[in-house]
């Protein structure tokens, strides 16, 4: 049986995701904005800082009056209000962040002072020392955060410092995740003979969120076409723009995803790869459906190979590191199949495989931190050779 090249299916999935690249925007509170992508440049409505303030605890002074001894005329805490102008021949005790009074042009740190009663002896100080000028960070009307920025805590701090409470961000891709199989039970439920916990549902939902998507519906169905159709309808009603299924696309019987989607024009294929050979693409009510195999390792790696890169691009999320590393040990591969072997990095920077290639080895995948990608025409690689690696 001829197998479809991996790159052909990659192109198919990329074409399916292309209409999702154009995103509308929405306004969200800063508390909900972490990790979201800025839709339009954020402009500061005010100067940062909004007033001259002290960079150090110390004494606000006229630099021209130093060195010398001055009367301590006032205390200025970091609090709301406008301090009185500084009278000539005096100093004002001032706290970090407090407004510098008119007339003062420098702050002498408290550790450089000698206080005696209500007078303070201070050294020579240059004008502007330890004074933060208004707008010295950013002036009102200037760009604070460029469009396309993925918001981290430091960006949110800047937006809040400008007095803003909301920010316009791109809407995430809305995804539904559906696991199929009469053998599946909810994790934690008692298992009947022949049942296994559903690992795919939680794994695919987590992978989608990590790639910047919003999971708006999650379902689990037995191998019953009517049941799958109902859950697909529920996903559409929930506003899903993309549906991801696991299981039900192999060549045997009880392949429920094939039964439901193939009559609607779904492309069901076997790719030249391991794990993850069975793949399918279809649609439901105009919504694209990406179908992965049911074996947990195949399902998770299929998401990383085919869907995650495109979703990350839409969400503005950088992908994990990809590069090359030396093999610590010899490996073998199957002729005609692109192998995605689970591996781990060793302290010396080399890589080795973790367990075998079978698609049921979920514990081995959990122990891996890198994929080793072996081309279709390579069957053996020796220790010391360079292999393509994808960080997990």
Q: What is the CATH number of the domain that holds 212?
A: 3.40.980.10
CA distance 127 to 147: 38
CA distance 144 to 317: 20
Q: Are residues 80 and 144 in the same domain?
A: no
Q: Does the residue 62 lie in any domain?
A: yes
Q: Are residues 211 and 308 in the same domain?
A: yes
* Cβ atoms of residues 256 and 248 within 8 Å: yes
Please give the pLDDT value at position 358: 63
E strands, 77-213, are: 90-94, 106-109, 114-116, 119-122, 131-132, 143-145, 166-170, 174-180, 184-185, 196-197
Q: Are residues 250 and 300 in the same domain?
A: yes
Give me the CATH number covering residue 43: 3.90.105.10
Q: Are residues 127 and 199 in the same domain?
A: no
Q: Which of 177, 171, 82, 75 is nearest to 120 (CA)?
A: 75
CA distance 22 to 170: 9
Please give the pLDDT value at position 279: 97
Q: Are residues 68 and 119 in the same domain?
A: yes
Q: Are residues 238 and 307 in the same domain?
A: yes
Beta bridge partners of 48: 138
Give me the CATH number covering residue 330: 2.40.340.10
DSSP character string of 39-98: SS-EE-SS-BSSS-EESSSEEEE-GGG-SEEEEEEEEE-SSSS-PPPPPTTEEEEE-TTP
Q: Are residues 269 and 189 in the same domain?
A: yes
Domain end position, chosen among 107, 132, 157 = 132
- Residue 93 phi/psi, 5-degree rounding, is -70, 130
DSSP single-letter state for residue 235: H
- Residue 380 phi/psi, 5-degree rounding, is -140, 145
Q: Which residue has the tokens 């510098």?
A: 100
* Cβ atoms of residues 351 and 332 within 8 Å: no
Give me the CATH number covering residue 66: 2.170.190.11
CA distance 108 to 261: 75
Beta bridge partners of 26: 169
Q: Does the residue 120 lie in any domain?
A: yes
DSSP H/E element including 381: strand 380-381
Q: Are residues 190 and 296 in the same domain?
A: yes
Q: Are residues 43 and 71 in the same domain?
A: no
Give the tokens for residue 231: 């859950």
Give, in order, the Cα–Cα distances in Å from 371 to each of 18, 294, 368, 374, 375.
Answer: 26, 20, 8, 10, 13
Pairing of strands 273-274, 242-246: unpaired
Please give the pLDDT value at position 2: 82
* Cβ atoms of residues 236 and 285 within 8 Å: yes
Give the tokens for residue 75: 């205390």
Please give the pLDDT value at position 360: 66
**Cβ neighbours of residue 7 under 8 Å, at least 6 residues apart?**
none
pTM comes to 0.83
Q: If you count them, how many residues does the chain have?
A: 392
Domain end position, chosen among 274, 289, 315 = 315
Q: Is 334 helix (H, G, I), strand (E, B) or coil?
A: coil
Q: Does the residue 111 lie in any domain?
A: yes
Is 244 exposed, middle or buried (CB count within 10 Å of its CB: 0-12, 13-18, 19+)?
buried
End-to-end CA distance of the chain: 32
Beta bridge partners of 58: 94, 109
Q: Does the residue 1 lie in any domain?
A: no
Q: Are residues 182 and 246 in the same domain?
A: yes
* Cβ atoms of residues 325 and 385 within 8 Å: no
CA distance 314 to 170: 9
Is 209 exposed, middle or buried (CB count within 10 Å of its CB: 0-12, 13-18, 19+)?
middle
DSSP H/E element including 219: strand 214-221
Domain with 226, as residue range(s), is 6-23+172-315
Q: Are residues 220 and 299 in the same domain?
A: yes
Q: Does the residue 57 lie in any domain?
A: yes
**Residue-wise pLDDT tens for the chain (392 aa)?**
689 999 999 999 999 999 999 999 999 999 999 989 999 999 999 999 999 999 999 999 999 999 999 999 999 999 999 999 999 999 999 999 999 999 999 999 999 999 999 999 999 999 999 999 999 999 999 999 999 999 999 999 999 999 999 999 999 999 999 999 999 999 999 999 999 999 999 999 999 999 999 999 999 999 999 999 999 999 999 999 999 999 999 987 789 999 999 999 999 999 999 999 999 999 999 999 999 999 999 999 999 999 999 999 999 888 899 999 999 999 999 999 999 999 999 999 999 999 766 656 788 888 999 999 999 999 999 999 999 999 99
Total domains in the chain come to 4
Give the tokens for residue 355: 């367990």
Please give the pLDDT value at position 260: 97
Please give the pLDDT value at position 254: 80
Q: Are residues 181 and 256 in the same domain?
A: yes
């Amino acid at each position: 049986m001829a197998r479809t090249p991996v790159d052909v299916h990659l192109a198919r999935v990329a074409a399916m995701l292309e209409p999702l690249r154009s995103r509308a925007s929405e306004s969200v509170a800063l508390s909900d904005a972490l990790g979201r992508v800025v839709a339009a440049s954020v402009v500061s409505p005010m100067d940062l800082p909004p007033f001259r303030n002290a960079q150090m605890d110390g004494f606000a002074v006229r630099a021209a009056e130093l060195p010398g001894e001055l009367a301590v005329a006032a205390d200025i805490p970091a609090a709301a209000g406008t301090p009185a102008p500084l009278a000539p021949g005096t100093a004002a005790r001032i706290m970090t962040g407090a407004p510098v009074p008119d007339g003062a042009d420098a702050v002498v740190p408290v550790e450089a002072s000698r206080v005696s009663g209500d007078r303070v002896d201070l050294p020579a100080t240059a004008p502007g020392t330890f004074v933060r000028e208004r707008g010295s960070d950013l002036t009102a009307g200037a760009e604070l955060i460029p469009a396309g920025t993925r918001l981290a805590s430091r960006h949110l701090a800047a937006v809040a410092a400008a007095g803003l409470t909301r920010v316009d961000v791109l809407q995430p891709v809305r995804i539904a995740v559906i696991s199929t199989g009469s053998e599946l039970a909810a994790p934690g439920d008692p298992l009947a003979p022949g049942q296994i916990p559903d690992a795919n549902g939680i794994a695919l939902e987590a992978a989608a969120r990590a790639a910047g998507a919003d999971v708006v519906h999650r379902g689990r169905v037995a191998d019953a076409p009517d049941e799958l159709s109902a859950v697909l309808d529920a996903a559409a009603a929930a506003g899903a723009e993309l549906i991801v299924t696991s299981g039900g696309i192999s060549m045997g019987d009880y392949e429920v995803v094939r039964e439901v989607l193939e009559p609607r024009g779904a492309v069901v294929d076997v790719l030249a790869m391991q794990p993850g050979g069975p793949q399918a693409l279809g649609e439901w009510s105009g919504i694209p459906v990406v179908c992965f195999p049911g074996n947990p390792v195949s399902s998770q790696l299929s998401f990383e190979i085919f869907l995650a890169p495109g979703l990350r691009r839409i969400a503005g999320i950088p992908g994990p590191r990809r590069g090359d590393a030396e093999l610590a040990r010899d490996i073998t591969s199957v002729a005609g199949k692109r192998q995605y072997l689970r591996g781990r990095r060793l302290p010396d920077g080399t890589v080795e495989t973790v367990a075998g290639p079978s698609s049921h080895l979920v514990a081995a995948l959990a122990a891996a931190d890198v994929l080793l990608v072996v081309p279709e025409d390579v069957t053996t690689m020796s220790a010391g050779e360079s292999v393509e690696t994808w960080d997990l």
